[in-house]
Amino acid sequence: MTFSVIILGSSSALPTVNRFPSAHVINSHERLFLVDCGEGTQVQLRRFRQRMSSINCIFLSHLHGDHVLGLFGLISTFNLLGRKKTLDIYAHPDFEAILRSNVSFFNDYLSYRIEFHPINCNVVETIYEDKHITVSTLPLRHRVPTVGFLFREKATLPNIRKEAIARYSLGLADIVRIKNGEDFRTAEGEWIPNAELTFHSHTPRSYAYCSDTFYSERLVGLIKGVDLLYHEATFLDKDLGLAKQTGHSTAVQAATVALKANVGQLIIGHFSSRYKNALQHEAEAREIFPNTFAVEDGQVYEIVAKATPL
């Protein structure tokens, strides 16, 4: 069951030759979700062979240009391709008027409907849910109202152990009750605990996307134990003053969040164009949280369930 992140853009405000502005695609069971939509996102979708028609939900972390300016071109492209399915967009309430104005100005006719969902940037709440995942907001600290997003798989029903079916002559009705959490009582009156009859073949996985933000202790508590964390790391530690001035984090701060939150793996991005590459960011972060990787455009990260002690 696919659960992965594709990096479309890893630069901060100023694009570079090798890095586009922020945009990630989350693939959950072959359904694609777009998080942020910086300039050129539609180019990156084609470049990295992502199915545009499978994107039905777009989540915008905040209203700075490097996170939203690619949306209007993408909407136009959807229209030219004859899209019919509704497009759901989740963003700060102020964005709705901007969105409607641009769509009406640049498109004489839209072949599909856009459903706008306002986000409260000050609270943690579930804003999307389907049979496979939930998406919740993570309030962040930036110069404008900003949220991150927590993608969490839903737990599936357990499997019945084959040997238990034979040993206790379980019928269909018994199996249904056991899969829904009940213990089993034998004909002799012995109670068999549910845990002895079932097993989970798949542990639910989680991904946290934490865009532009100051270092946040509150965030640590909201993302405890996630399997994969993306946290912006715009600056190196020597430029901590700039990070504070602009409302961003350093690689060291991103790694500190990962360490305190006990996440499985950390990926960092949103790098300032002042740096030639992100090797120093990765090195600084690994001093604190070794399982850190500086992202590059086009990379795919499979979300693997975090190992827990037996």
pLDDT in the model for residue 184? 75
Q: What is the mean pLDDT of residues 109-118?
A: 96
pLDDT in the model for residue 196? 76
pLDDT in the model for residue 201? 61
pLDDT in the model for residue 310? 34
Q: What is the mean pLDDT of the chain?
A: 92
Q: What is the mean pLDDT of residues 242-258?
A: 97
Tell whether the model's pLDDT for residue 197 goes beyond 80.
no
Higher pLDDT, 160 or 120: 120
Q: What is the mean pLDDT of residues 152-161?
A: 80
Percent of the chain with pLDDT over 90: 78
Residues 260-298 pLDDT 10s: 999 999 999 999 999 999 999 999 999 999 999 999 999
| Residue 191 binned pLDDT confidence (cut-offs 50, 70, 90) | confident
Q: What is the mean pLDDT of residues 33-52?
A: 96
pLDDT in the model for residue 157? 67
Tell whether the model's pLDDT for residue 13 goes beyond 90.
no
Tell whether the model's pLDDT for residue 307 goes beyond 60.
no
Tell whether the model's pLDDT for residue 309 goes beyond 80.
no
Catalytically active residues are: 66
Q: What is the mean pLDDT of residues 110-131?
A: 96
Query: CA-to-CA distance for 40 and 224, rounded, in angstroms?
Result: 33
**CATH classification code of 3-156+202-302:** 3.60.15.10
Is pTM beyond 0.85 here? yes
| Residue 308 binned pLDDT confidence (cut-offs 50, 70, 90) | very low
Residues 67-111 pLDDT 10s: 999 999 999 999 999 999 999 999 999 999 999 999 999 888 899
Tell whether the model's pLDDT for residue 251 goes beyond 70.
yes
| Residue 31 binned pLDDT confidence (cut-offs 50, 70, 90) | very high
pLDDT in the model for residue 172? 82
- Looking at the chain, the domain(s) classified CATH 3.60.15.10 span 3-156+202-302
